[in-house]
Structure 1
């Protein structure tokens, strides 16, 4: 784990604005125009790839907002209006607290015991949904608002405060909300790293009809509601989403969009987050309906697996309790969901209590996935060539409190991890 000394200083910047009432300002003239407020220049457009047809949709767009209780989102005008054209996933749950583990889990099928927002590089032999997509030649990209350059790996980025020109510079971008940058299996491959792009690239890619088939989109720290609130995030949605929905280069009749929150705000209650499925590919008869099956962020992985017949990660995406496939996809693909009553839901509002390689108090090494699992795509498990598949969870040592270990013991653990 790396934690630059700069982090503590930068972490104070948002606090300086805590007493300031933010007022929404469009960061660009339109969502499809480039803007100097994003600091990062457009780096040309992505190359167009052949479209790999799915059983239900050909494009899957994932949009994460921040830290909002279900009822708070439900009461905003923006979400009430959007719900009329969407499926409301009323029992969709986040994975844990705080933010970063949810982003890591949403593409990696696990959050590895992570319980903070520190600087992580997850080893290159740990696979993600990106491996599953590329295994079927399905194009993808992650778009991060206010990220300064494609593939930027820094902990954060401070830029001029476009909300208030007289205010100090502001931290609009944070690494913790960028799931792809957390995984060395993505970062260590230049062609993959180039697909972690900023919003100037997003505008250019849409205008060039070069949007890939799988997208993860993160607004900046004010527009996602993290440093503001759900009302501010709603203003951003009303500015940004209608334009995108009306552009066939972004939202055609085979596009599904999942709009959700990384986690809720009130950690004392379970982690139910307001989640909508919309887009041109949603059948008209399903709009303004509610799906009451139990879902989590892992369900978005299993839903993509089912749609394209992908392999699985053999992680929580194959744990049927927490990875139900969205019903409108399960009904077409023949996947059978697990029906749970609310008293059977796992508690996912907990933090720092899970064993894992990223929990220093309950450390266990990264292990191989469940090699016997069959995912929602009906296929076996994708395994990185460098992963030791014989090192399973059953062989992993008991959780270790790294804070109680001396330097020699820590080096021994590091040597062990190298050989996994």
Structure 2
């Protein structure tokens, strides 16, 4: 009987290989952990939010950020998380594509032919949408519009992504099961702490994120909140990074991570190749419980 099982397994594997398929390439069943053998869970949905210009010590322990500190206590807080550079825009581009693409400032516009995790997901049969608060319309490519700034919405710069991937935050689904595989949310300049206060950003997150966090816990989904950079006041560019949702072991994690680490973790979760500098980063593996709660 054991020989028979091995024979069947060999036939299935060989057939899949002949068809150019990966045996475990299918997306996870909704609400269930993926069966792929990986150190990073394959989540049904990930929501990534990048806030602005605040260092670790400005947020963690601050009375002005009660919601963020509640997430940090309930879930996973990375105490040695670092941005890559100053100013903002290169950090955004790097987290999406594994490279700053040579950008060293906040200039606009840019167009890159380089690959990126959004395109990787689409090519693997999954999905990506970037949701920007105050974006005036789907596919808008202007550099600024009121409190919207394209420099904080890096997907707009990549030529292999359709205009439909660039959505106003008002299009963010109220039915979370209709979210794309990866949703990148960019609050506007007031609500991301760039022009507004820490308290304003914290209040925005509580209002707009908490419902998803509660849902994610029982629907094999994840929230990542991080920052682009610190205040650029001579510090070490240390920033808060918080993972919340299903399969997250609460605690403080002390390994050194950066934007390339987060990108590599997402790429490993979905079995796509590591881009650029993410190939030299180590995916985050110690934070996962191995089961959805």
Q: TM-score range by the shorter chain?
A: 0.7 to 0.9
Residues 1:221 and 2:189 aligned together: yes
Structure number with the higher strand fraction is 2
Q: Is the 8 A contact 1:121 1:184 kept in 2?
A: no
Q: Is the 8 A contact 1:156 1:173 kept in 2?
A: yes
- Of 158, 167, 171, 1:197 maps to 167
The 2-side partners of 1:251 and 1:172 are apart by 32
1:328, CA displacement in angstroms? Answer: 3.3
Inter-CA distance 278–206: structure 2 relative to 1 (3 Å threshold): same
Name the residue aligned to 1:253.
Answer: 219
The higher radius of gyration belongs to: 1
Q: Is the 8 A contact 1:51 1:213 kept in 2?
A: no
Please give the per-residue CA displacement for 1:228-266, whole angstroms capped at 9, x wherever unaligned. Answer: 2212211212222223323x3x66431111101111003
The 1-side partners of 2:76 and 2:207 are apart by 21
Q: Is the 8 A contact 2:49 2:224 kept in 1?
A: yes
Q: Pairwise mapping of residues 316-395 of structure 1 onto structure 2 (< 5 A)?
A: 316-319=277-280, 323-328=281-286
The DSSP-based 3-state class of the residue aligned with 2:238 is coil
List gaps (5 residues or longer) in structure 2. 1-24, 29-33
1:154, CA displacement in angstroms? Answer: 0.3
Q: Is the 8 A contact 2:247 2:288 kept in 1?
A: no
The DSSP-based 3-state class of the residue aligned with 2:68 is helix
1:329, CA displacement in angstroms? Answer: 6.5
The 2-side partners of 1:63 and 1:214 are apart by 11
Inter-CA distance 328–135: structure 2 relative to 1 (3 Å threshold): farther
- Of 38, 48, 51, 1:65 maps to 51
- Of 303, 328, 351, 2:265 maps to 303
Q: Is the 8 A contact 2:247 2:289 kept in 1?
A: no
Name the residue aligned to 1:290.
Answer: 252
Q: Is the 8 A contact 1:51 1:58 kept in 2?
A: no
Q: Is the 8 A contact 2:94 2:100 kept in 1?
A: yes
The DSSP-based 3-state class of the residue aligned with 2:111 is coil
Residues 1:240 and 2:208 aligned together: yes
Q: Is the 8 A contact 1:59 1:255 kept in 2?
A: yes
The DSSP-based 3-state class of the residue aligned with 1:151 is coil
Name the residue aligned to 2:5.
Answer: none
The 1-side partners of 2:237 and 2:119 are apart by 28
Higher relative contact order (CA 8 A, sep 6+): 2
The 2-side partners of 1:274 and 1:208 are apart by 25
1:106, CA displacement in angstroms? Answer: 0.8
The 2-side partners of 1:99 and 1:244 are apart by 26
Name the residue aligned to 1:276.
Answer: 242
Inter-CA distance 230–331: structure 2 relative to 1 (3 Å threshold): same
Inter-CA distance 244–256: structure 2 relative to 1 (3 Å threshold): closer
Q: What value does the CA root-mean-square deviation take over the aligned residues?
A: 2.1
Normalised to the residue count of structure 1, the TM-score between the two structures is: 0.57
1:138, CA displacement in angstroms? Answer: 1.2
Residues 1:96 and 2:49 aligned together: no
1:330, CA displacement in angstroms? Answer: 8.2
Name the residue aligned to 1:176.
Answer: 151
The 2-side partners of 1:244 and 1:208 are apart by 7
- Of 100, 106, 109, 1:111 maps to 100
List gaps (5 residues or longer) in structure 1. 1-49, 158-170, 187-191, 333-420
Residues 1:146 and 2:134 aligned together: yes
Q: Is the 8 A contact 2:94 2:260 kept in 1?
A: yes
The 2-side partners of 1:304 and 1:251 are apart by 18
Number of residues paired by the alignment?
Answer: 252
